[in-house]
Structure 1
């Protein structure tokens, strides 16, 4: 069964433009409600959101859809995406919903679903919900319409859980941490967790106004946090994205460490402690070749998947692995969470700092990356740049010039109208020329 509405991370798009309209959200809620409510027993759904203004509109529309099919709705308010996975399980809900477009600008939004086990839905489940939406849903009888209520202590539940992932005997006393919450979903939870564990928190991106999520802040724009690290002489910086499922770390000089470096550190640490299940890390084809070499030197395997944290999680569950993620900063630790959790990943890094007594700069550069260039080219709706002859020719020419000395990965984004052009090679000048040539070809037809 095919999917056209769902992408690699739920349904996403420009707000008030199909598919991110209130009308579609209501129909989607009704279809998901019918999919999960297969009998007359009591059924419940938890709904969280990030801080986008459009979250109110979509939250109300989804609530109408779910209650119309007899589902009882529990509204959690602004909440990190991983908290929805956790609370779906702990509140014994049949389905969890997160309203967020993650690291995208405020004018975008998205809807992603979690099953009763706290994991994101399979392609098959999403396809079935899509089928129900297209065919129309039988509504509940008047006496069976669902209720909706707000849960006031949901944030506190997640804060307390996040703290349990940090070793009980350790404290963050004496550590000054610049924490950038991207004016997003973790603007309350993350500062509370770090402060309650003893850190001195210098908070940025904690004044959401509905329109400033991810705007010149967070994991996709760490420059302000880097300046604040240097200005306050902080021990490190932690930058989350809009829904807090990804993280990047800044050392005491403001230098950025991406997800590859963080995963390399955690994998090495867990392997030494006998905690790394399957003695392997699961990462995507985007992860740097330097990470693979570093892990192999320690006898740790690197399992690669297609781009998207859902594919990482699928491979982890298939192979029984407990650590995976993406270069962008999605770090999935299934011992603690069902999806990427930027805050809990940051706590693992802080644990390493406290236990070793090392500076952040000594822990953030665990391997020497092979030169890698990634550029994004935006294309117009309806265009198919990768299928054109000139782009195919540019890619073929680039692969020929690189030969066995590097690799190219050119793909369409699953969440935005972008062609992502990535390459790795020891000869950075040659790589830059090849990437530039491919981008120019894409731009000519985009």
Structure 2
């Protein structure tokens, strides 16, 4: 794919991804789901809180109505809210404007089909061809021009859906929420308030520039202090578009996606709600997680990195739980994508049912030290195919032997090569990483 990566079309606003791109995406999907099928297309559109999201929203909506489709505007909402409402409202397609955990200066456009899944690559390829002017699409005229609809009730229905997914009370439970000054700012607190929790929220005052800045699931220090200083039972941190969630236990310890998969997997299996007794993690998950799964008599099937790959495996085999270390957790019984707020509700369900603290529930997992280094490069493809780089991976593997593992992969959304080393000690991780980092030096940006 030329423009669309593993998580949509990403880039610096009006540089890698510009307003003309957004207008053309709107033009294509407005026509594809409307005039092409001789009907009025219905497309739902959401966005996060970064300043450029408003510009891209206007461009996409203009493209949609110019092609004859009606654009239903959800305004600021989590990415999973767009996926949910696309299905719930019987829309042809959903559009989310967000760069997730990236800086405010970046943005992205994610598309979901009418079933709430990530858009098929065959459609994305056609969009890319249209962006490159390989064919034309007629403009709508007269009464065929589309309309814009303020669709705030769609966000309200999503909030109601989250509340109804929790069949328990949180009365008397003290919960900290870090909304990353992003999409969760308008949704998370009302959900926990409705369930009776004592909610203490931080980073929920977006100004267009502060999304993900020293906050949210990529910067947990403030939430950790908040939980300990306030004497809270648990804390949850979301990313910019709230499709990820990481937790903090009552002691201030980080509970990452691996630990969340363990806690929820063991609980769901205990109650007969884990399909085939199987969890779907990625190859980036910790060895300690796999060993804990073995001890808990849970099966697991690993996939390549990316929630798209996790869900493809889940959907193919009917599995009900999967996710990534980053906190992108998918509960296949009620969602087609990762949902940070839903993840935090599922964790609270376990805490309430088991009557244990989060630290107690995580205790059986003994995680190996991991060292993940992100190397910014000039050319990801060239770096990943370089003979010296490939040889360095083999050298690192030979060095560790059965003591650990290494993994080298290109980021799907940024000009980065990720170097992962996992071993019984930090020192071994550093020595294994050094093989690959030295080989990548000529490619550094």
TM-score range, shorter chain: over 0.9
Deviation at 1:385, TM superposition (A): 2.3
Give the aligned partner of residue 142 of structure 1: 141
- Unmatched runs of 5 consecutive residues or more in structure 1: none
Give the drift of 1:380.
Answer: 2.9
CA contact (8 A) 1:257 1:365 kept: no
8 Å Cα contact 1:34-1:137 kept in structure 2? no
* Structure 2 contact 380–410 (Cα < 8 Å) conserved: no
Post-superposition offset of 1:297: 2.6
Distance in 2, matches of 1:266 and 1:383, equals 37
Instruction: Give the superposition deviation at 1:360.
Output: 2.1
User: Structure 1 residue 427: deviation in Å?
Assistant: 4.3
Which residue among 277, 295, 312 is the counterpart of 1:297?
295
Cα deviation, residue 289, structure 1: 1.6
- RMSD of the alignment, in Å? 1.5
Is the CA contact (8 Å cut-off) linking 1:249 and 1:364 kept in structure 2? Answer: no
Residues 85 and 415 (structure 1), Cα distance of their counterparts in 2 relative to 1, 3 Å cut: same
Match in the other structure for 1:98: 96
May I ask how many residue pairs the two structures share in their alignment? Answer: 441
Alpha-carbon distance in structure 1 between the residues aligned to 2:363 and 2:50: 34
Alpha-carbon contact 1:69-1:140 (below 8 Å) kept: yes
In structure 2, the partner of 1:46 is 44
Distance 2:404 2:121 in 1: 33
In structure 2, how many angstroms separate the alpha carbons of the residues matched to 1:443 and 1:195? 50
Match of 1:22 among 15, 19, 32: 19
Q: How far, CA to CA, are the matches of 1:382 and 1:165 in structure 2?
A: 41
1:8 CA drift (Å): 0.5
CA distance in 1, matches of 2:203, 2:364: 28
Task: Provide the C-alpha distance between the structure 2 equivalents of 1:182 and 1:115, rounded to a whole number of angstroms.
Answer: 27
Question: Which residue in the other structure is 1:373 paired with?
Answer: 371
Work out the CA distance in 2 between the residues paired with 1:359 and 1:383. 45
> How far did residue 258 of structure 1 move?
0.3
The corresponding residue for 1:110 is: 108
Instruction: Decide whether the 8 Å contact of 2:100 with 2:239 is kept in 1.
Output: yes
Alignment of 1:116-131 (within 5 A): 116-131=114-129
Q: Deviation above 4 Å: which 4+ runs of structure 1? A: none
1:28-73 deviation digits (Å, cap 9, x = unpaired): 1112223322322222000000000000110011111111211100
Match of 2:402 in 1: 404
Shift of 1:365: 3.7
**Residues 219-253 of structure 1, C-alpha deviation per residue, up to 9 Å, x if partnerless?**
00010111111111111110010000001110112
- 8 A Cα contact 1:265 1:364, kept in partner: yes
Q: Does the aligned pair in 2 maintain the 1:43–1:72 contact within 8 Å? A: yes
2:4 counterpart SS class: coil
Following the alignment from structure 1 to structure 2, what is the Cα–Cα distance between the partners of residues 136 and 71?
19
Question: 2 CA distance for matches of 1:359 and 1:350?
Answer: 10
What is the TM-score with the length of structure 1 in the denominator? 0.95
Correspondence for 1:214: 212
The match for 2:164 is 164
Gaps of at least 5 residues in structure 2 are: none
CA drift of 1:404 comes to 2.7
Which residue does 1:250 correspond to in 2?
A: 248
Aligned to 1:237: 235
Counterpart contact for 2:28–2:137, Cα < 8 Å: no
Q: Structure 2 CA distance, aligned partners of 1:90 and 1:139?
A: 30
Note the C-alpha offset of 1:443.
3.1
- Say yes or no: does 1:36 pair with 2:33: yes
2:151 aligns with: 151
| Contact kept? 2:275, 2:320, Cα under 8 Å | yes
Q: Secondary structure at the match of 1:48?
A: strand
For 1:155 and 1:366, locate their aligned partners in 2 and report how far apart those are by CA, in whole Å.
Answer: 38
The CA deviation string for residues 93-127 of structure 1, in whole angstroms up to 9 with x for no partner, is 10000000001110010000010011111222322
Q: 2: CA distance between counterparts of 1:35 and 1:26?
A: 14
1:73 to 68, 71, 80: 71
Q: 2: CA distance between counterparts of 1:137 and 1:284?
A: 41
Quote how far apart the aligned CAs of 1:141 are.
Answer: 3.4
Q: Which is worse superposed, 240-249 or 145-154?
A: 145-154
Give 1:308's aligned residue. Answer: 306
User: 1:436 deviation in Å?
Assistant: 2.9
1:381 Cα offset (Å)? 5.6
Structure 1 residue 138, shift from structure 2 partner: 1.5
CA distance in 2, matches of 1:347, 1:157: 17
| Conservation of the 8 A alpha-carbon contact between 2:380 and 2:416 | no
TM-score, with length taken from structure 2: 0.96
Tell me what 1:355 maps to: 353
- Report the Cα distance in structure 2 between the residues aligned to 1:254 and 1:24, rounded to whole angstroms: 43
Which range moved further: 401-410 or 28-37?
28-37
Measured in 1, the distance between the counterparts of 2:26 and 2:235 equals 38
Specify the alignment match of 1:395 in structure 2: 393
Q: Look up the match of 1:416.
A: 414
What secondary structure, in the 3-state scheme, does the structure 2 residue paired with 1:153 have? helix
Structure 1 CA distance for aligned equivalents of residues 279 and 123 of structure 2: 27
Q: Assess, with a 3 A threshold, how the Cα gap between structure 1 residues 22 and 381 changes in structure 2: closer, same or farther.
A: farther
Please give the per-residue CA displacement for 1:381-422, whole angstroms capped at 9, x wherever unaligned.
677323334423322211111123222110110011111101
Counterpart-to-counterpart distance in 2, 1:244 and 1:365: 27
